[in-house]
Amino acid sequence: FDELKTDYKNPIDQCNTLNPLVLPEYGVHVFFNILFLFAGQFGSLMFNVPLIAYHVHRYMTRPVMSGPGLYDPTTVMNADNLTKCMREGWIKLAFYLISFFYY
């Protein structure tokens, strides 16, 4: 998203790069949580449930698009939407970093 902010990349290319990564990210996250469930790691599972709920909510309320993904090139350049996406990225990075050291 920083490339969009500094005009190094156009919105269509950025969305074409990011959208194919959304479902694999969600799938890997759910897979690890299923493993936590089978292993009886309920603390780790409860730590991850809010992010899974957010992922489901975010995907269910995504813009109408022809393919899978979250990012629409026509709205991603909106300053509010761009700031929201950047904040979401930083928060998810912090969550996954904390999760990496916790597990």
pLDDT digits (tens, 9 = 90+) for 42-87: 999 999 999 999 999 988 887 777 677 777 777 777 777 778 888 9
pTM (two decimals)? 0.75
Cα(40)–Cα(22) distance, integer angstroms: 27
Cα(32)–Cα(45) distance, integer angstroms: 9
Quote the percentage of the chain above a pLDDT of 90: 37
